[in-house]
Chain A
């Protein structure tokens, strides 16, 4: 089975407090620690497990600048066979549809049986997988938390729906699935593992290589533009308890008693 996994380099939510920059044009970029989008990591792990079971290969692809290469390489260190970087100045500022059309061009160059994406990323949009499937006219399922390969033509898929329930489907290949966290436990990548793939070549495909007209993607082709970033004026929010740890705990215990939290 030939599996393509789409990954994105994002600011690591566990390493950063996201702040808006001075002009409100973007988030504060200094000192941000980047990593692979958490959901994508589960998608790569799932792809590797499928390959180990039924054979084939796993290719990791990312749309981004040269810095995105590091996350592709990290996923190769997990065990993906190949990496591809889709990179071009013309891709910069793409909206979800732009990213999906760049990926579509790559998919059409090769023969993939299964495409996995993360269910969502840092912007919370959860859009690229569904758009990619529609552009390819392939079936799609989002929030996938279970995959079983039935044969080389069809798979069984579970989707996470409300209330902890699971929707089960049988789907024909090829198809696109967006992967929810918790579907597996992604393996740890050691420094040694990264070193092992450090010298592997990751081909870069540009707009020209992919046959994409530059004005159809990137900022030029984007229908949706981000105007500014801001921290919303919110209601009262929490009353923040301050003081020494002892004082805070005194305060908290009184509140808990009053509200029935300590009986």
Chain B
């Protein structure tokens, strides 16, 4: 096919994000013959250390180096990418909070196809790419066909491609700063102020061995008590999925997921949690996962070791009672 493939590299504190090597794997699945160029924006020595880190994995590394990019924002970066990307290129971006900010607008500005949140590629035929996406928070999958002959911006779901750790590139770093910033940086309408760090809650769920985690299936705030009772019986801590925090039934520091905490317990009880990838993304260290959900099609059953199809409101009080009986026996 011969279209050039670019991978946008997210980094922090001079270290490339896990998605960097996942994007190489994604590019390989997209087109085995493609030459893959990493594109990295940043400032100074931190940027250089990221470039050096990833150079041996990519055919080429393009860097954009400017003090104003010490903290990269999508609005500042987008016009720079528009200047350096060749016509009809294919750009891979992680589907995370940065990619969601950058990518849809980038596809418009370079007049390319847009494919969001892709989990797999199934080949290119005659300029048309067949890709796999999920809809309805993972309850169903869909094949989509997109004409990428005029270029494409594709966001790739983190964790869907296994990192390709073969060092196959030749480490060439090309400085694209002059071309990217030829007429200055656009910072006028959108000014980054600061990062407000997550507040530490009363319980640090990242240190818990046993998590009793609750989701939408709890239905009512009045039912939350049974979750705490089960957690107490199991000598574990209570965590939750996003809807519980949105409803203000638990503090944000108890939320498991990409926008919450990354936890690594030994046992994880997912109670009434559907298992959207944003939630499962916060679950590390291969815990033993027990899922209880009314919906037999809930994606959580694909990551759980053991599942129970049923109503948590029926199961939890009985389970708590049985555990307490056992302990007092």
**A225 to chain B: which residues have CB within 8 Å?**
144-146
Q: B192 contacts which of A165, A166, A169, A185 (Cβ < 8 Å)?
A: A169
Say whether A191 faces chain B, with CB atoms less than 8 Å apart: no
Q: B253 contacts which of A142, A160, A164 (Cβ < 8 Å)?
A: A164
In the complex, the chain A residue whose C-beta lies closest to that of B260 is A164
Within A160-177, the residues touching B (CB, 8 Å) are 160-172, 175
Say whether A198 faces chain B, with CB atoms less than 8 Å apart: no
**B143 to chain A: which residues have CB within 8 Å?**
226-228, 230
**A19 to chain B: which residues have CB within 8 Å?**
140, 297
Nearest-neighbour CB distance to chain A for B298, whole angstroms, equals 9
In the complex, the chain A residue whose C-beta lies closest to that of B194 is A168
A-B contact pairs, 16 of them (CB 8 A): A20-B140, A125-B117, A130-B103, A130-B105, A139-B75, A140-B75, A140-B105, A142-B101, A143-B101, A143-B259, A162-B96, A164-B260, A168-B194, A171-B189, A227-B144, A253-B323
Instruction: Check A239/B306 contact, CB under 8 A, given A124-B134, A139-B189.
Output: yes
Nearest-neighbour CB distance to chain B for A245, whole angstroms, equals 6
In the complex, the chain A residue whose C-beta lies closest to that of B138 is A124
In the complex, the chain A residue whose C-beta lies closest to that of B120 is A232
In the complex, the chain B residue whose C-beta lies closest to that of A230 is B141
Nearest-neighbour CB distance to chain A for B148, whole angstroms, equals 9
Within B26-61, the residues touching A (CB, 8 Å) are none
- Please tell me if the beta carbons of A182 and B246 are within 8 angstroms of each other in the complex: yes
Q: A17-B296, A170-B193, A171-B191 are in contact. List 20 more A-B contacts (CB 8 A).
A: A17-B295, A18-B297, A20-B140, A123-B135, A124-B135, A127-B104, A131-B114, A159-B101, A163-B260, A166-B198, A172-B190, A224-B113, A229-B142, A230-B141, A238-B305, A245-B315, A255-B288, A261-B210, A261-B269, A262-B326
* Nearest 10 A/B pairs, CB to CB: A130-B104, A164-B198, A238-B307, A134-B105, A134-B108, A182-B246, A238-B304, A261-B267, A227-B143, A18-B139
Interface centre among A119, A142, A238 (most CB of B within 10 A): A238
**A223 to chain B: which residues have CB within 8 Å?**
113-114, 146-147
Query: How many residues on chain B are close to A (CB under 8 Å)?
Result: 98
In the complex, the chain B residue whose C-beta lies closest to that of A259 is B288
- Please tell me if the beta carbons of B307 and A239 are within 8 angstroms of each other in the complex: yes
Nearest-neighbour CB distance to chain B for A247, whole angstroms, equals 11
**B141 to chain A: which residues have CB within 8 Å?**
229-232
Instruction: Check A166/B140 contact, CB under 8 A, given A96-B114, A143-B97, A262-B323.
Output: no
**B274 to chain A: which residues have CB within 8 Å?**
13
Instruction: Check A253/B315 contact, CB under 8 A, given A163-B262, A239-B306.
Output: no
Interchain CA distance A139-B74 in the complex, whole Å: 10
Interchain CA distance A237-B297 in the complex, whole Å: 11
Say whether A126 faces chain B, with CB atoms less than 8 Å apart: yes
- Please tell me if the beta carbons of A27 and B140 are within 8 angstroms of each other in the complex: yes
- Please tell me if the beta carbons of B306 and A238 are within 8 angstroms of each other in the complex: yes
Say whether B207 faces chain A, with CB atoms less than 8 Å apart: no
**Mask of A64-87 contacts with B, CB within 8 angstroms, 1/0:** 000000000000000000000000
Say whether A260 faces chain B, with CB atoms less than 8 Å apart: yes
Interface centre among A130, A230, A239, A253 (most CB of B within 10 A): A130
Interface of A, helix, strand, loop or mixed by DSSP: mixed
Say whether A215 faces chain B, with CB atoms less than 8 Å apart: no
Nearest-neighbour CB distance to chain A for B195, whole angstroms, equals 6
**A127 to chain B: which residues have CB within 8 Å?**
104, 114, 116
Say whether A133 faces chain B, with CB atoms less than 8 Å apart: yes
Within A111-150, the residues touching B (CB, 8 Å) are 119, 122-131, 133-135, 138-143
**B296 to chain A: which residues have CB within 8 Å?**
17
- The A/B interface has a contact count, at CB < 8 Å, of 262
Say whether B239 faces chain A, with CB atoms less than 8 Å apart: no
**Mask of A89-116 contacts with B, CB within 8 angstroms, 1/0:** 0000000110010000000000000000
- Please tell me if the beta carbons of B136 and A13 are within 8 angstroms of each other in the complex: yes
Say whether A158 faces chain B, with CB atoms less than 8 Å apart: yes
Interchain CA distance A227-B71 in the complex, whole Å: 40
- Please tell me if the beta carbons of A252 and B290 are within 8 angstroms of each other in the complex: yes
Nearest-neighbour CB distance to chain A for B247, whole angstroms, equals 8
- Please tell me if the beta carbons of A237 and B302 are within 8 angstroms of each other in the complex: yes
- Please tell me if the beta carbons of A238 and B259 are within 8 angstroms of each other in the complex: no
Interchain CA distance A162-B17 in the complex, whole Å: 12
Instruction: Check A241/B142 contact, CB under 8 A, given A130-B100, A224-B114.
Output: no
- Please tell me if the beta carbons of B305 and A263 are within 8 angstroms of each other in the complex: no
Interchain CA distance A164-B253 in the complex, whole Å: 8
- Please tell me if the beta carbons of B302 and A248 are within 8 angstroms of each other in the complex: no
Within B94-116, the residues touching A (CB, 8 Å) are 95-98, 100-101, 103-109, 113-116
Say whether A14 faces chain B, with CB atoms less than 8 Å apart: yes
Q: A172 contacts which of B133, B188, B192 (Cβ < 8 Å)?
A: B188
**B174 to chain A: which residues have CB within 8 Å?**
none
In the complex, the chain B residue whose C-beta lies closest to that of A250 is B322
Nearest-neighbour CB distance to chain B for A8, whole angstroms, equals 13
Nearest-neighbour CB distance to chain B for A214, whole angstroms, equals 19
**B291 to chain A: which residues have CB within 8 Å?**
238
